[in-house]
Amino acid sequence: MTESKLQEGTPMTALALSAKIKAGKVKVEDVVRQQLEVIKKEDATYHCYITVWEEEALKRAREVQAEIDAGQYADSPLAGVPIAIKDNICTKGQRTTCASKMLENFRPPYNAEVIDRLEAAGAVILGKVNMDEFAMGSTTETSYFGITKNPHGVEYVPGGSSGGAAAAVAAGEAVVALGSDTGGSIRQPSSFCGVTGIKPTYGTVSRYGLIAYASSLDQIGPIGNTVADCASVLEVIAGHDAKDSTSVPTESYSYTSALVNDVKGKKIGIPKGYLGKGLEEEVKTAILRAAKVLEEQGAIVEEFDLDIVDLAIPAYYVLASAEASSNLSRYDGVKYGYRTPDFESLQELYKKTRSEGFGQEVKRRMMIGAFVLSSGYYDAYYNKALRVKALIKEGFDRAFEKYDVILGPTAPTTALKIGENLADPLKMYLGDIYTVSVNLAGLPAISLPCGKDSKGLPIGLQLIGKPFGDKDIIQVAYTFEQNDTV
């Protein structure tokens, strides 16, 4: 039931597990105990978790069981389901580290909004999973607590920055997980680890309690083994939150209503540039095969030009680094977090605390951000990047006048070998070429498995929707999942 996906084949879904629990066929505590045993067995190999809440999870399991027995959670799809949480999402009284020395012992005095919503639905949190430090990276190699390994091959990275979350689901160490996505950080690791992940429309899920990397781009979303599991988690965590000024109310959050096996008449566009230079041939073949599956189900699939996204990578890294430079200025050794033990002046306190507390990739992006925001370069870089962001949004708006969904690869390659990209950060940044434009335009997108390469590594299919068109991508993804025979 909760054994490793790779050992046992098809794992039990969150929906099926919750149904068994509510039917009285299995106890929540037994489910959680078995899940904790899998973590003890597997995590020495994969290192998905930073903190495991063994005692707290078992206590919570008993509480949820008592509430289920009393008739609560009848309509909840997550009652009794174990879930892992990316370690940049605040949990009251429990360590929330952002995989950084800077926050190694930080215990927030409050829950993120998504945590309260999960607990109100009867979910059981297993612990906090590994990530790139402050979500800055695409491999989960920049974590202060050590790297996470891909369950499809321990010599490969799981992707990032939500690599711990995706690897935990792939390895059977969690049934579902929450990640965050600033430029592809849910979708790319989902692609590398062969699981499904949704980046919702910006403003759909509250960012209250998500430790910021780039506030205008960050969004929390689910990772699971199936489209239905992800849609169910999204339905629980989505909703307007007055505590988040960027939260946008919508008419309906019933994402499970989009789990319909039907794409007849749906217009699906494939940007020609997504199939060009830099895309591995095996990935291209799998993506075109996926498009063929949808076409056979009645979708209208055609290629079109979306050239403006070629500018997405430089615009993204200018804007994200600028916001990171501002957001991370709060970590100065005075208010909270790490403080250097050896200093003689306030200036030395700031300098040594930040030098010792942040890792190399975080420092690199903060320095880039400070540079592009400086008086001599603000117009040349930051303002220009803002204009490009607006042009990318306009390009997608024009595309969605004709198409319901845009289809393409999640990443240009399958999982890379550990250490392959650390020495060449530019190469790592270019790996985000198909994902960052979605965040710049605030769009919803989903990554789901569509095959494997000759090395047995998963390939991810990305579906992009119009603003608040989350149901469109869920329906198309579900239809592909139900009809894909590979």
DSSP per residue over 10-41, as a string? SPPPHHHHHHHHHTTSS-HHHHHHHHHHHHHH
Which whole number is the average pLDDT over 85-100?
98
**Residue 458: strand, helix, or coil:** strand
Model confidence at 445: pLDDT above 50: yes
Model confidence at 14: pLDDT above 80: yes
Which whole number is the average pLDDT over 226-245?
98
Question: What's the pTM?
Answer: 0.96
Which H or E run includes 301? strand 300-304
CA 77 to chain centre: 20
Model confidence at 4: pLDDT above 70: no
Which whole number is the average pLDDT over 43-68?
98
- 149, 167 in Cβ contact below 8 A? yes
The pLDDT assigned to 220 comes to 98
The pLDDT assigned to 10 comes to 55
Model confidence at 9: pLDDT above 50: no
The pLDDT assigned to 109 comes to 97
Q: Which of 143, 161, 162, 247 is catalytic?
A: 161
The pLDDT assigned to 3 comes to 39
Whether 86 is catalytic: yes
Model confidence at 340: pLDDT above 90: yes
The pLDDT assigned to 119 comes to 98
Which residues are CB-neighbours of 226 under 8 A, at least 6 positions away? 13, 15, 196, 481
Which whole number is the average pLDDT over 12-39?
96
Task: Tell me the fold of 5-264+410-483.
Answer: Amidase signature (AS) enzymes (3.90.1300)
Residue 407 exposed, middle or buried by CB count within 10 Å (0-12, 13-18, 19+): buried
Percentage of the chain lying above the pLDDT 70 cut: 98
Which whole number is the average pLDDT over 130-148?
97
Provide the pLDDT confidence category of residue 230 given band limits of 50, 70 and 90: very high
* Of the candidates 396, 380, 312, 331, the residue with the CA atom closest to the CA atom of residue 133: 331
Crossing angle of helices 281-296/470-483, nearest 10°? 90
Query: Residue holding tokens 């020395």?
Result: 101
Model confidence at 343: pLDDT above 60: yes
Whether 185 is catalytic: yes
Provide the pLDDT confidence category of residue 251 given band limits of 50, 70 and 90: confident
Q: How far is CA 10 from CA 4, 13, 80, in A?
A: 9, 9, 20
Which whole number is the average pLDDT over 468-481?
98
Provide the pLDDT confidence category of residue 5 given band limits of 50, 70 and 90: very low
Q: Provide the residue count of the chain.
A: 486
The pLDDT assigned to 405 comes to 98
Provide the pLDDT confidence category of residue 6 given band limits of 50, 70 and 90: very low
Whether 161 is catalytic: yes
Which whole number is the average pLDDT over 147-151?
98
The torsion of the CA quartet 46, 14, 226, 10, rounded to 10 degrees, works out to 70
Q: Which of 18, 22, 76, 86 is catalytic?
A: 86
